[in-house]
Amino acid sequence: MLLLGLWLGAGLFMTWATADSYDSVDRALKPVTRSGEQALNDIGVERARVFLRYFAAEQNRYQLRQWGLAQLVLAVFLLLVLLFATNGNKWMLALSAGMLAAVILQQFAIRPRVIELGRALDFASVDEMRDERRSYFNYQKGDSYLEFGKITMLLVIGGRLIVSSGERRKRRRRSGEVDAVDNTENGHVDRRVRTSHRSHRGEALGGEQDKVAGAGVDGVEGD
C-alpha cells in the first residue's frame, strides 16, 4: 500500500508541477520590484515570455524523463511484490503488467516524440508548423490517456489490497475465537479430572496419606 501511495502521490505532484511551471512564467512577467521591472523592459516582455516558456518547457521535459525512469523501477518492483503478496493472483498481476506496459510505451515511444516536437515548436509562431503542432497535441493526448489509465489501475489495485487485508483480519479474528472456545472447553475437562482425582486421593493430615490409602486398598483385597 505504501508503494501505491507513493506512486500515486508523486504522479499527482508531477501533474501539478508541470501545469504550475507555465503559470510561473506569467508570475515572473509581473515583477514586484523596480529593478525587476526595469530589467524586463530592457529585454522586452514578449521576448522574455518566449524564453521563459522555453525554460519552463525544458524543465518539464527533464523532469518527465526522470519520472519515467523512476516509474519503470516502481512498476517492476510492484509486479514482484504482487507476485508474492497475492500468491500469484492473475487479475492483480495482469493490472500490474498493464501498468508496466503503459510506462514502457510512454517512456520509449510517446514522450520522446513529445520532447522532439516540443523543442521544434518552442520558438515557432502559431501559424508555423501546423502539422507538427497537430502531431504534438495528439501525442500529448495519448500520453494523458495512458496516465489516466495508470492512475485507474493503481486505484483498483489499492482497493483490492484493502479488501483482501480486511478479509484476512476477519479470518484471523474468527480463528482466534475458535481457539479461545477450544481452550475453555479443554480447561473445563481438566478441572473436572483434577477434582475427581482429588476426591479419591485427598491429602491426609500429618502426612499419613500413603498409610491411609494403602490400608484401604489392602482391606479391599483382603475381603
pLDDT one-digit tens code per residue, 132-179 = 999 999 999 999 999 999 999 999 998 888 887 777 677 777 776 655
Q: Is residue 143 part of a domain?
A: yes
92 class by beta-carbon count within 10 Å (0-12 exposed, 13-18 middle, 19+ buried) = buried
Q: Is residue 137 part of a domain?
A: yes
State which residues form the domain around 32: 2-169
Number of domains comprising the chain: 1
Residue 183: its pLDDT value, please?
55
Q: What's the mean pLDDT in 10-33?
A: 89
On average, the pLDDT of the chain sits at 81
Q: Is residue 176 part of a domain?
A: no
Q: Is residue 146 part of a domain?
A: yes
35 class by beta-carbon count within 10 Å (0-12 exposed, 13-18 middle, 19+ buried) = exposed
CA atoms within 13 A on the CB side of 168: 8
Q: Is residue 161 part of a domain?
A: yes
Q: Which three cell numbers stand for residue 127?
A: 501559424
d(CA 60, CA 17): 8
Instruction: Answer with the residue of higher pLDDT: 19 or 187.
Output: 19
Q: Is residue 26 part of a domain?
A: yes
- Measured CA angle at 107 (ends 106, 109), to 5 deg: 65
Residue 184: its pLDDT value, please?
53
Q: What's the mean pLDDT in 93-118?
A: 94
Instruction: Answer with the residue of higher pLDDT: 50 or 180.
Output: 50
61, amino acid identity = R
